[in-house]
Chain A
Amino acid sequence: QSVLTQPPSVSGAPGQRVTISCTGSSSNIGAGYDVHWYQQLPRTAPKLLIYGNTNRPSGVPDRFSGSKSGTSASLAITGLQAEDEADYYCQSYDSSLSSWVFGGGTKLTVL
């Protein structure tokens, strides 16, 4: 059971918009800790996708965006492309656990 809760899977057709939620609690996201997102393409290492809730590293398309509100955060992907098919993980810090925490991951399928 992950400290941060994500839906196991989402799907969308090419060109559509999808969102992935990340729900935490008052000891992590709700405590003001930033949320970060990673993309893991099949059989590869994770890669930083969004940092500090809303920021994209250089090279990440602006089709990817992040937001945070209260004890939750979301990753939005617009203009879905086949190459976006991957697992997506949110990550934050939990003050009660004194630990970095990840969401359980969401598998995005492009139909």
Chain B
Amino acid sequence: EVQLVESGGGLVQSGGSLRLSCAASGFTFSSYEMNWVRQAPGKGLEWFSYISSSGSTMYYADSVKGRFTISRDNAKKSLYLQMNSLRADDTAVYYCARVAVGAIYIDYWGQGTPVTVSS
């Protein structure tokens, strides 16, 4: 069974940093591209970061470019998100998500971890 379990969310002050982790199991993690998607309270889904299966290619939405860094450790079957210079509008539930092979859609989502940035 595919499982994605995020951790590391919490309350942080504006300007602070936080590192999210996503532990993967039930599939060959190193074969899959991964995304981070977030959802602000009462709002819709926002894609903001992608990483290739090898970790050599990363993409970011303009909203987080220069502040957030996606990475992965295939040996540990883990995905990471380093978030710096956090702002109030980064407050959201952060989802780790697996990209379907050879496609541009998400076939599995984690349960999400909430991040609250206080001003």
Using a CB–CB distance below 8 Å, which chain A residues touch chain B?
A: 2, 33-34, 36, 38, 40, 44-48, 51-52, 57, 87, 89, 91-93, 98-105
Contact = CB atoms under 8 A, between A and B. Distances in A.
Contacts, number: 59
B118 to A, nearest CB: 23
A45 B95 contact: yes
B106 A38 contact: yes
A46 B109 contact: yes
Interface of B: 35, 44-47, 50, 59, 61, 95, 100, 103-112
Contacts of B108: 48
13 contacts: A34-B103, A36-B105, A38-B106, A45-B110, A57-B107, A89-B44, A91-B45, A99-B47, A99-B61, A101-B47, A102-B47, A103-B44, A105-B45
A45 B45 contact: no
B44 A91 contact: no
